[in-house]
Amino acid sequence: MRITELRKKVGKTDLYIEDLKIESGMIHGLVGPNGCGKTTLLKLIMGITAPDSGSIDYEGLKPSDVTMMSQRPYLMHASVYDNIVYPLKIRGEKTDEAKINELLERAGILEIRDQYAGSLSSGERQKLSFLRAIVFRPKMILMDETLSNLDSDSEKLFREIVLERHREDGSTWLIVSHQWDEMNELFDKVHHMEKGRIVK
Amino acid sequence: MKIKKLLVLLLSGMMVLSFAACGSSGGGEEEAEAAAAPEEGATLMMATTTSTEDTGLLDYLQPLFKEATGIDLQWTAVGIGEALKMGEDGQVDVVLVHAKSSEEEFVANGFGVERFPVMYNDFVVVGPAAPLEKTDDVAAFFGAVSDQQLPFVSRGDDSGTDKKEKKIWEGLGIDPAANPNYIEAGQGMGATLTMANEKEAYCLTDRGTWLKQSKDSENEYTLDIVCEGGKELLNQYGVIAVNPEKYPEVNNEAANAFIEWITSDEVQKLIGESGVEEYGQALFTPNAGTDN
Amino acid sequence: MGDWLRGVFTNPAVLSAVKVTFEMAFSSTFISAILGVAIGLWLQNHDFTGKKAVVRINRTLMGVPPVVIGLLVYLLTMRGGPLGPLSLLFTVKGMVLAQVLIITPIISGMVFSYAESAVPAIRAFAKTMGADKKQTDRLIISELRNEIYFCIITGFGRAISEVGSVMLVGGNIKGHTRTMTTMISLLKSQGIYSEGIGLGLLLLIMAFILQTLGDYVRKEQIRDENY
């Protein structure tokens, strides 16, 4: 994926990406202080916001191949299980319940499987959001500090899942983080951002 | 027709422009009581039937009464049942209605002091020119409506006019409801006449309301009088002061002043003249002092 | 008390009024719900010049006195009016027409407000899931279902309690267009209060049930937002 001369002004942040290449099949880190435009960049890639100018070359990637986990994930008014199978349902894919249960078990949220998503704690919400994003095996995954509310054991577990999926699917990951020392072992490549610019 | 279209347009425009500030409200219905702003001095509260208001008689008499006695006449124009009920509950000082037997009962039960006849008007049947020919034979006319199942709109509100109509059917031994085109509007005379005109149906009305409505209304009336003059169609009005022994708070003095005034020769003459100029005929015929 | 109530609720005239009320309220709420939800969601999702004015007009219409709409529909449907040939005046259909004009703006206005605050997040989410346009629309409706129920309940509450336009357009014809509210109005004019009170009680009970339903639906909403 290649981003050229992409410009977007949101509030105080003036985002300008002159030239950024995100090689496919790699795990990229996006690191920088709060308010430097990381989330905006992800939203632009996801197509949630339109740029003021510039372009993104998806290099054959379809919009439905890309997913994004927000910092505050949107939860459907349904059970945890129904939330997780939603992307499979709209793709008309058969849901293998045993497999999904296995996934839930591993993430430690099997016992709340049938609970109403609105009643979850913020850590559980992030786990749900993570599973929902990876369940349909997208080619590119954007993560916006999705694991920030997890305890260190859980975070370690999810890092493992990221690596595993990356190995199995050859998927591309772009992970926003400011606690970069903990996440950095994942990253094949790290992009530093400051005041709306890629600095390194 | 043009006027109606204009009205529709005007209304739509008004809705868009002027109701921003208005809160929502239920259907406003009470409009009767605001006939006169209360003033200093004595006031007389009267319950009466819609016919005396709809014909404009009260608007005509009110300033004259004020001039003669200094008393401010206020009224609420409702159905006959409710008017008498207001008297029974002591809500008003005097009632002016047209249902002789109910009025006598009202006095007999101690709610009213005494009933005085004031005037009468008459009922007419209005309707389309065909298929029935104009007649003064009430029995034949009503019989034909029922036999031929012609559309007929009844007040159906237990008002004096409604009672009159029911009595005519009863006297002829006809069940009007057996006619599938007989409908009960459950509304006042004006609304019922409007409905009859829309439906091109027959309708029993007091002459005064008909004359005023067919002249003043923006509706183009295709109806006309098709039955009049029968003895069954007379409509006697009586006035009764509410009994002060039952309700000491009523203004009996003003009530008596009104009764005396309205039955006086001078005012009786005025009643006999009211409407002549406007409609070409009197709306009411005075008959105070008779035993009607 | 028991006899009185039994007397009121076995009275065929009362039962007929209850039936007409529900026939009218269900039909008008059903039509208004479809129109109102569609208009509300469409407005949220489309930008055009004059949109602000349209929204403001919608808000205004939410508060129009029903009797004004009644008069408008009366003039439209009377014999010489533009819709005269359809013979809608003094029929339940005519009453439904008036009520649809009253209730649709209420539902569309409420749906629009809810959609304004909720839909952007749902759209963004649908995008991350790779939903197409149709799937996104379906998701929006399903995610807003509690809000939509609430709007519809509100509309229905207006429909059963309304008297002004129903009296004008329906004409309060016994057994045909006489509703609970116009019957109360008639009973009052006859000085018969006990049956009026009975009908009033029945309407109050229905309002209470609707309110309870509304509260339940609202609680679901709060539960969703509460994190």
Q: Which candidate, C43, C165, C58, places its Cα nearest to that of C109?
A: C58
Q: Residue B218 has what pLDDT?
A: 79
| Amino acid at position A108, single letter | G
Question: B248 and B116: one domain?
Answer: yes
Whether A and B touch, i.e. at least 3 CB pairs below 8 A, reads as: no
Least confident of A141-150, A164-173, C74-83: A141-150
Note the pLDDT tens digit of each residue in B113-135: 999 999 998 899 999 998 899 99
Please give the C-alpha separations between residue B83 and each of B98, B238, C190, in angstroms, as whole numbers. 10, 13, 8
Please report residues of A whose CB lies closer than 8 A to that of C223: 116, 118-119
Say how far apart CA C78 and CA B200 lie, in whole Å: 12
Nearest CA in chain A to C118: A74
Query: By percentage, how much of chain B surpasses pLDDT 70?
Result: 86
Fold of A2-198: Rossmann fold (3.40.50)
CB spacing of C189 vs B85 below 8 angstroms: no
Nearest to B160 by CA among B226, B93, B206: B206
For residue range B235-284, list pLDDT tens digits in order: 889 999 999 999 998 999 999 999 999 999 999 999 988 878 877 788 88
Non-local (6+) Cβ contacts of C40 within 8 A are: C107, C108, C109, C110, C111, C112, C114, C115, C151
What's the length of chain A? 200
- pLDDT for position C147: 92
Q: Does A46 touch chain C (CB under 8 A)?
A: yes
- B218 with B127, same domain: the answer is yes
Cβ neighbours of residue B31 closer than 8 Å, sequence gap 6 or more? none
β-sheet bridge partners, residue A7:
A16, A53
Angle (CA) B255 B286 B49, round 5°: 55
CATH number assigned to the domain comprising residue B76: 3.40.190.10
Q: How far apart are CA B217 and CA B63, in angstroms?
A: 25
Angle at A78 between CA A76 and CA A84, to 5 degrees: 70
Q: State which residue of chain B sits closest to C193, comparing Cα positions.
A: B82
Q: Which residues contact B40 (CB under 8 A, 6 or more apart)?
A: none
Which among B252, B233, B247 is positioned nearest to B71, based on CA atoms?
B252
Assess contact for B251 and B44: CB atoms under 8 A. Answer: yes
Q: Positive or negative CA dihedral for C58, C62, C65, C71?
A: positive
Parse chain C into domains and list their residue ranges. Answer: 2-225
> Do B132 and B226 belong together in one domain?
yes
CA dihedral A97, A73, C130, A114 (to 10 degrees): 20
Res A8: pLDDT: 93
To the nearest whole Å, the CA of B269 is away from the closest chain C CA by: 32
Q: Where are the beta strands (DSSP E) in chain B?
A: 43-49, 72-78, 94-97, 112-127, 152-154, 182-184, 202-206, 224-227, 234-242, 285-286
The domain total for chain B is: 2
Contacts of A171 (CB under 8 A, 6+ apart): A25, A137, A138, A139, A140, A141, A165
**Residue range C166-201, pLDDT digits in tens:** 999 998 988 889 999 999 988 887 777 888 888 899
| Residue finishing a domain among B199, B214, B233 | B233
ipTM over 0.90: yes
CA of B154 to nearest chain C CA: how many angstroms apart? 9
User: Whose CA is closest to A186, among A73, A61, A41, A31?
Assistant: A31
Q: List pLDDT tens digits, range B26-62.
A: 333 333 333 333 334 688 999 998 878 877 888 889 9
Question: Domain extents for chain A?
Answer: 2-198
pLDDT band at A169 (very low <50, low <70, confident <90, very high): very high
pTM given for the model: 0.76
Tokens of B86: 């207001």
Q: What is the rounded average pLDDT of the residues A108-114?
A: 92
Structure tokens that stand for B163 in this block = 């009672």
Q: Which residues of B touch C75 (CB under 8 A)?
A: 4, 7-8, 11
Task: Name which of C138, C127, C121, C119 is nearest A67 in CA terms.
Answer: C127
User: How far does CA C116 lie from the centroid of its chain?
Assistant: 21
Residue range C134-152, pLDDT digits in tens:
999 999 999 999 999 999 9
- The C-alpha angle with vertex B112 and arms to B109 and B113, in degrees rounded to 5, equals 115
Mutate to test the interface with C, among B84, B95, B157, B220 (most CBs of C within 10 A): B157
β-sheet bridge partners, residue A67: A141
Per the structure, the complete domain to which residue B241 belongs is given by 41-120+236-286
In a domain? residue B17: no
**Cβ C173–B79 below 8 Å, yes or no?**
no
CA angle C100, C120, A19 (to 5 degrees): 150
- State the pLDDT confidence band at A32, using cuts at 50, 70 and 90: confident
Positions of E strands within chain C: none
Non-local (6+) Cβ contacts of C27 within 8 A are C92, C96
Question: How far apart (Å, rounded) are the C-alpha atoms in residues B4 and A40?
Answer: 58
Residue B206 clears pLDDT 90, i.e. is over it: no
Give me the CATH code for the C2-225 domain, please. Answer: 1.10.3720.10
How wide is the angle at C-alpha A143 spanned by C-alphas A140 and A144, nearest 5°? 145
- B106 vs B89: CA distance, rounded Å: 11
Residues 52-81 of A with CB under 8 A from C: 63-70, 74, 76-77
Identify residue A36 by its one-letter amino acid code: C
Cβ of A67 within 8 Å of Cβ of C128? The answer is yes
- DSSP H stretches of helix in B109-251: 138-147, 160-172, 189-199, 207-216
Sign of CA dihedral B169, B173, B174, B175: positive
B170 and B219 share one domain: yes
What is the maximum span of chain B, computed from C-alpha positions, in angstroms? 58
Q: If 0-12 CB within 10 Å is exposed, 13-18 middle and 19+ buried, where does residue B100 land?
A: middle
